[in-house]
Amino acid sequence: MTKSKALKKKIAVIGLGYVGLPLAIAFGERYHALGYDLNKKRIDELKKRYDCNLEISKNNFKKSKFIEFSNKKDDLNNYEVFIITVPTPLKKNKTPDLKSLIHATIIAAKYIKKKSIIIYESTVYPGTTEEICLPLIEKISKLKVNRDFILGYSPERINPGDKVHTLKKITKIVSASNKFGLKEIKRIYQSIIKPKIYSVNSIKIAEAAKIIENTQRDLNIALMNELTEIFDKLEINIYEVLNAAKTKWNFLNFSPGLVGGHCIGVDPYYLTYKAKKIGLNPKIILAGRKVNDGMPEYILERIIKNLKEKKIKFNNLKFLILGATFKENCNDIRNSKSLELCEKISHKFKNVDMFDPYLKGNDFENYKFNLLKKIPNKKYEVVIIAVKHDFFVKMGLKKIQKLLKKNHVLYDVKNLLKKN
């Protein structure tokens, strides 16, 4: 049996988080691939074939025969294709923070040569790749786009914790600075992606497509959250309403919840930032953001109201919060509204425990609540199911009820227990 050989292109992925690592691993199955990250600790663990984000298994590492990892810039020197997958978060004032993107661009620009391809996957507002990144590349490299190198954009669609909609199974959008580049980039991605690649006519279209995917979802969830507030006042169960409405064929299946993370809670602000730059004043998008950003405070107010209605005294109240990650079945706490809820409660009440099967104690040394290593053997006045981890689904209502005192408040944020 002959050993398989790597395909000709040498591909470097810059940024090895939830987006970059799966991509580097996939390319490493077929190409000489380099996973580059500034974080030496991250590189050291990846060299030992361990992913602290729990997205890549040992078997995934094993299949990626041609992958290498490095935090040394000079190791990028012999690569032809550079794919940038760094985070694009928000500043405190809710405007785009492009520091990591610009830094990654500067690094890549120093190593690109004639016939290189540089592709961006980081989520940005339309125009970022060509108006901010491209001038930097040309200035540093002394090369000219289309004459010397190809510029591309292919938005990431990774869903952390999702073992069904994985990288290789998701339709990939690709765009490029010219038609030849589009064919090349399409061919590169098609070599690792099963569904047919979807090509678009410009980089701005690809940037815009990604940003509206998350903006649309954000707005739909905001509508559900606002309906929750209305129906709570009317003493109507929101989930019973939704179950009835879903019997119509064209009713969209969304539900209330805490909207955080590095995509849905961030991307709408990127779009509205650009809209304001061109003289527009977006209203609906920002209204949706206001609703979703306000949900932790709303949930806390509801819990306090329920406590008063049940005449539960506030002295020495014990809280247990189940889950603090931004979504189910992952250990990502970036922009987590569940974590924000934990913080709000722990600032108002003293005895607050939190358990999340995906989190470790050293992540929370500076917080006021207590992070538990396992489900406790004691009872609480208030239990909040904040994240729909499979772990909590498997626990079921009976085991969760054992954590509650006789007079209690059980708040199920995502209707995990389906108790209508």
Q: Are residues 268 and 405 in the same domain?
A: yes
Q: Are residues 32 and 181 in the same domain?
A: yes
Write down the pLDDT at residue 159.
Answer: 86
Task: Evaluate whether residue 211 is within a structural domain.
Answer: no
Type of residue found at 229: E
The amino acid that residue 127 corresponds to is G
- Evaluate whether residue 170 is within a structural domain: yes
Query: Residue 420's pLDDT band (boundaries 50, 70, 90)?
Result: very low
Judged on CB neighbours under 10 Å (0-12, 13-18, 19+), 417 is: middle
Q: Are residues 174 and 256 in the same domain?
A: no
Residues 136 and 246 in one domain: no
Question: Of 231, 189, 184, 140, which Cα lies nearest the Cα of 31?
Answer: 189
Question: Is residue 69 located within the same domain as residue 189?
Answer: yes
User: For 361-403, how does the pLDDT look when each residue is reduced to its tens digit (9 = 90+)?
Assistant: 666 667 788 889 899 999 999 999 999 999 999 999 999 999 9
Is residue 369 within 8 A of residue 321, CB to CB? The reply is yes
Whether residue 242 sits in one domain with residue 194: no
- Please indicate, yes or no, whether residues 162 and 281 belong to a single structural domain of this protein: no
Could you report the per-residue pLDDT of 165-192, keeping only the tens digit for each?
899 999 999 999 999 999 999 999 999 9
- In the predicted structure, residue 341 carries a pLDDT above the cut 50: yes
Give the residue from 201, 228, 257 where a domain finishes.
201
Question: How crowded is residue 155: how many other Cβ atoms within 10 Å of its Cβ?
Answer: 21
Handedness of CA 34, 38, 44, 48 (dihedral sign): negative
Specify if 229 maps to a domain: no
| Helix, coil or strand: residue 234 | coil
pLDDT of residue 362: 60
| In a domain? residue 108 | yes
- 2 pLDDT exceeds 60? no
Flag whether 69 is in a domain: yes
Of 285, 267, 276, 291, the closest CA to residue 90 belongs to 267
Whole-angstrom distance, CA of residue 164 vs CA of residue 292: 27
Q: Is 73 domain-assigned?
A: yes
For residues 28 and 66, give the distance between their C-alpha atoms in angstroms, rounded to a whole number: 5
Per-residue CA distances from 81 to 24, 33, 69 (Å): 12, 9, 16
Asked whether the beta carbons of 135 and 164 are under 8 A apart, the reply is no
Is residue 160 within 8 Å of 55, Cβ to Cβ? yes
Q: Which tokens in the block code for residue 351?
A: 């005895």
Distances (CA, A) of 67 to 115, 234, 280: 22, 58, 46
Tell me, what's the pLDDT at 164? 87
Nearest to residue 8, comparing CAs of 117, 107, 106, 111? 117
Residue 212 placed within a domain = no
Q: What percent of the chain is predicted at pLDDT more than 70?
A: 96
pLDDT of 1 higher than 50 = no
Low-confidence winner among 82-86, 195-199, 207-211, 314-318 (lowest mean pLDDT): 314-318
Per-residue model confidence (pLDDT) at position 226: 97
Of 201, 222, 254, the position where a domain reaches its end is: 201
Number of folded domains that form the chain: 2
Strand ranges across the sheet with 117-120: 67-70, 31-36, 7-14, 81-84, 117-120, 150-153, 173-176, 198-199
Same-domain status, 181 and 242: no
Report the CATH number that the domain containing residue 286 is assigned in CATH: 3.40.50.720
Residue 78 phi/psi, 5-degree rounding, is -100, 20
Question: For the chain, how are helix, strand and coil distributed in percent, rounded to 5?
Answer: 40, 15, 45
Mean pLDDT of all residues in 38-61: 95
Q: What is the residue-averaged pLDDT of the chain?
A: 94
Whether residues 262 and 178 share a domain: the answer is no
- Give me the pLDDT at residue 296, please: 96
**Residue 311, Ramachandran bin (φ over 0: left; ψ between -120 and 50: alpha; else beta):** left
Residues 189 and 53 in one domain: yes
Residue 35 above 70 pLDDT?
yes
Q: What is the mean pLDDT of residues 55-62?
A: 95
- How many helices (H) does the chain have, and how many strands (E)? 14, 13
pLDDT band at 100 (very low <50, low <70, confident <90, very high): very high
243 plus 192 within the same structural domain: no
Beta strands 81-84 and 7-14, pairing class: parallel
**Which of 327, 295, 302, 326 shows the shortest CA–CA distance to 226?**
295
- Catalytic choice (52, 133, 263, 342): 263
pLDDT by residue (tens digit) across 76-88? Answer: 999 999 999 999 9
Does residue 110 lie within any of the structural domains?
A: yes
263 is catalytic: yes
Contact 33, 64 (CB under 8 A): yes
Percent of the chain predicted with pLDDT > 90: 87
- 191, 266: one domain: no
Of the pLDDT bands very low, low, confident and very high (cuts 50, 70, 90), residue 5 is: low
* Segments forming the whole domain that contains residue 303: 236-412
Among the candidates 176, 201, 226, a domain finishes at 201
CA dihedral 86, 123, 226, 387 (to 10 degrees): -30
pLDDT of residue 56: 94
Do the beta carbons of residue 295 and residue 222 sit within 8 Å?
Answer: no
pTM of the model: 0.92
Strand ranges in 191-269 using DSSP code E only, listed in sequence order: 198-199
